[in-house]
Amino acid sequence: MDLRNLLLVTAILLPLEIAAVDIPITDSWFGGFQAGACVAITTSLNGWTASLKFSDDVHSVEIWVAKVTKVSSREYRLQNEAFNPILNVGDQFCFSFVGRVTGNVTPKITFSFNGVGDSGSVASTPSSSSSSTTRSSSSSTTRSSSSTAAPSTGGSTANKDYMDALAKSILFYYAQRSGKLPANNPIPWRGDSALSDCVPGGWYDAGDHVKFGLPMASTTTLLLWSLYAFKDGYSAAQQLDAMYDVIKWPLDYFLKAWNSNTKRLTVQVGDGNADHSFWGRPEQMTMSRPCQEVSTSSPGSDVAAETAAALALGAITFKDKDTTYAAQLLTAAESLYAFAKTSRGVFSGASPFYVSSGDKDELCVAGVWLYRATRNAQYLNDARSFSDGAYIWALSWDDKRAACQELLYEETKTSSYRDAVTGFLQTWLPGGSVAYTPCGLAWRDQWGTTRYAANVAFLALVAAEAGLNTAQYRKWGVEQINYILGDNKHNGGCFSFEIGHGKQYPQQPHHRGASCPNLPATCGDAQLNADAPSPQILYGALVGGPDRQDFYQDKRTDYIQNEVATDYNSGFQGALAAINHLVATNNFPQTNNKCPCNP
């Protein structure tokens, strides 16, 4: 069912009368409720007002597709925003809102366009029975309902412990948590930290202690996408509960970071230069941790839109587990997206560490996930307007154009989106423009080599599920992950670039907390420069990886090959979930890695 179980409102609109249709309540709790619907437009409007009337007192109404004026506690006047004054015949005006009440009150609600009459009624069937622009979103347990069923590619035997690799990747995200840690914290060497941050919680970005908004949101979106597409892969590895637990941490942070009343989003906590001059535990930081925000006067639509995408996908993810929490996430996602769409401009405050190349890709991805959460066709139309068919270099925290094209193909089956996805992946497959190491890793850049390969492996496995070159993409995607997990020649072979997986793995990640011995021992530059294994095992972290010739140096001071970061693990973890799905469905492909691990 659709996240809000929205009902399609069918109406015949006549001029100079007042429309009145019942609006269903889709969720309620003590002190509030959520309601919404889609109204068919059969008379063109250029500038509009509308009314919401209630059978009981409602203290306030929060809605983001209209300006709100309180007429009385039982009537609110709506007026179009600057971005939606024109409603044309054939459009669907879809909206939702939150009402605040005293106690457990669920009033009867009527909606009317002022100056327009109605001889229609509210349909009694869910929107999934109507046209494709309002059909129900698929359950979070399955892939998108519009995806083509992937053909079977045969069931070869898995040659790696992909379940272990997935479980350990989740542990890495536990190690990156900032704020007050719960009693079930599984990382014994981590404690409470940065409790005085302007917005506590969230994830530290890498081996440092800055909370950068764009890569955190991008990481969250990609991880949630893997849960949406390959939930059975998490279940097969017995990691579903852990994944729900770990992914809620950044979502809670985003809810606290966004103030819909002031339209201000906190997008960074900490100063990169000051932070990078400190080597020690996050629990013992003493440097200033300034906040940076985006607002209508200081826009950052790239990070705002990506955060909205994460919140929307989080709402889909949690709809069957916690409807109240899912409603909070979606309410925040819609208001934040509206802010991003109307306050365009790229956030520059994370320079030189993270500099975004634009905001259209984030707006596109946010539009698709909001469409899947609400089935409001305007979001899908927005996403299509933001898509970009130009050459794509990689899938990364900065550039989500390939993700945008894949998601739009799943929803529309349009050939231009299909061609964009397959064209991008063709550049990554052997014979394309991306270089390969002798042992077969697709090598895009010295910074985050394994990260780029794993991100595209995840996308290839998603595209395979949508019916695109299924056998080829499955084989290639699994082979890239196989290289990362041991099908390489470092240290005689069988070396895993994921820490803690297998018998050989990196001992010296460029990570402050892991380099520190147990308290009360001190930690500082001596630990940075110590040519010895880190006292703490940073389970699951994916290091940057080898150079173009498969050479890798396991040395903490080499912050290129030994960098770890939340975004490094995101596509990697998603690909692992996809591979576990292939094993569970007897579709694991026959692989042929150039340097197979033969322990």
Q: Which of 2, 275, 382, 554 is catalytic?
A: 554
Does 82 have pLDDT greater than 90?
no
Which domains occur in the chain, in start order? 7-134 (2.60.40.290), 162-584 (1.50.10.10)
Exposure of 198 by Cβ count < 10 A (0-12 exposed, 13-18 middle, 19+ buried)? middle
d(CA 151, CA 165) in angstroms, rounded, equals 26
Q: Is residue 563 among the annotated active site residues?
A: yes
Q: Which of 361, 406, 563, 567 is catalytic?
A: 563
What average pLDDT does the structure give for the chain? 89
Confidence grade of residue 83 (pLDDT, cut at 50, 70, 90): low
Euclidean distance between the first and final Cα of the chain, in Å? 48
Please name the amino acid found at residue 281.
R
The residues, ordered by sequence, that sit 6+ positions from 58 with a Cβ below 8 Å of its Cβ are 73, 74, 76, 99, 100, 101, 107
Q: Give residue-wise pLDDT tens across range 39-74.
A: 888 788 888 899 999 999 998 887 867 888 999 999
Does 9 have pLDDT greater than 90?
no
Mean pLDDT of 108-125: 57
Does 140 have pLDDT greater than 60?
no
pLDDT for 138: 33
Q: Give residue-wise pLDDT tens across range 193-234.
A: 999 999 999 999 999 999 999 999 999 999 999 999 999 999
Instruction: Flag the least confident range among 16-25, 200-209, 356-365, 442-451.
Output: 16-25
DSSP 32-86: EEEEEEEEE--S-EES-EEEEEESS--SEEE-SSEEEEEEETTEEEEEE-TT--E
Q: Which residue has the higher pLDDT, 480 or 117?
A: 480
Does 571 have pLDDT greater than 50?
yes
CB atoms within 10 A of CB 436: 18
**Given CA atoms 219, 147, 434, 551 in this order, what sign does their dihedral have?**
positive
Scored b (16 or more CB within 10 A) or e, 70-100 reads: eeeeeebebebeeeeeebeeebbbbbbbbbe
d(CA 569, CA 564) in angstroms, rounded, equals 8
Token code pair at residue 444: 């895009």
Q: Is residue 554 among the annotated active site residues?
A: yes
The SS3 of residue 266 is strand
